[in-house]
Amino acid sequence: MCRLLGWVARDGLSLRDVLGEESYVAFAQLSRVHADGWGLAYADADGYGDGGIEVERSTTNASSDPAFAATATDVAARAAIAHLRWASPGLPVAMANAHPFLLSQSAMAHNGGIYPFDRIDELVPDEWRSQLTGTTDSERYFLAVLAELAATGGDMTAALPRVLNRITEEFTPSSLNAMFLTQEALYVVNCHDASIRPDLPPPDSQSVDEMVEALEEQAPYYDLRYRRTESSVVVASSGFAQPEGGGWRRMANNSLLVVDRSDLEVSEIPMDVRISPSAARESVGADLR
């Protein structure tokens, strides 16, 4: 279980710029619960990298990691995806399992689980398995999409529904919510069992931790919303205030949002993909972390 945030902008913006200080602090504090690391994949960042997609990742709690604050402040990018990790049971907190994943100038971060874990390698074609570096279902989901892209001509809007349908037919996912960043666009998948909410730990005190928990409980956990302005498009998981009056719009479940990096054009495409709620709840069980 994780939190996702992505943006595309006309000019370089940092995570702090994109959200504004109040929402940035609220997003960072979500790592009190989603405490198993953080990551940022970014492109066209002023003074960073060579113009391709770069990744910064850590297994440290973002709210207590000076490197997260520095990255969120200093890396001003025209496109990026950020991830706060809450590791699924049985998946180690290790750099190889940290999101976002990067391969062939495409990056991906995922929020959810695909079960059963002991069959998850079946998602990846044999000739792609040498690219695996970690043990997560998320990385295998990512490679399955890249393999489909390579096999069918590079159309992400066609490849993603094919992979999603395969996963829902052959596996039991709780959520396939994900962000894919390529040289051309930001692609956001919203496909989940809307009935699932995480079993959050109780707060230690009457503090920001309690507020984080309350926010998570008030909003459907897997909802994704986006906000479009003249200068940027931002897409985010629930967990901090995203009011309609502030320009936030809820993505439909079982849809694909495409944000063109060249002109910020936004398309929301319905997908004929469904996750069975009863099957997902049975497979995930009571402990959703």
What CATH number should be reported for the domain holding residue 175? 3.60.20.10
Query: What are 15-57's pLDDT values in tens digits?
Result: 999 999 999 999 988 887 887 899 999 998 876 666 789 999 9
pLDDT at site 58: 95
Percent of the chain at pLDDT exceeding 90: 70
Q: Which amino acid is at 282?
A: E
Can you give the residue range of the structural domain that contains 246? Answer: 2-284
Give me 244's structure tokens: 């309609």
CA–CA dist 255, 274 (Å, integer): 10
- Mean pLDDT of the 134-152 span: 96
Give me the sign of the Cα torsion angle 71, 74, 75, 81.
Answer: positive
Run of H or E including 184: none
Residue 145 contacts by C-beta under 8 Å, 6 or more apart in sequence? 108, 156, 159, 160, 163, 180
From CA 104, how far away is CA 178, in angstroms rounded? 18
> pTM of the full predicted structure?
0.90
Q: Are 39 and 259 in contact (CB under 8 A)?
A: no
DSSP conformation class of 155: -
* Cα–Cα distance, 235 to 186 (Å, whole number): 10
Mean pLDDT across the chain? 87
Digit-coded pLDDT (tens) for 74-103: 999 999 999 999 877 778 889 999 999 999
**pLDDT at position 190 over 70:** yes
Q: Is 163 part of any domain?
A: yes
Q: Is residue 289 part of a domain?
A: no
Structural domain tally of the chain? 1
Rounded to an integer, what distance in angstroms lies between the CA atom of residue 219 and that of residue 163?
28
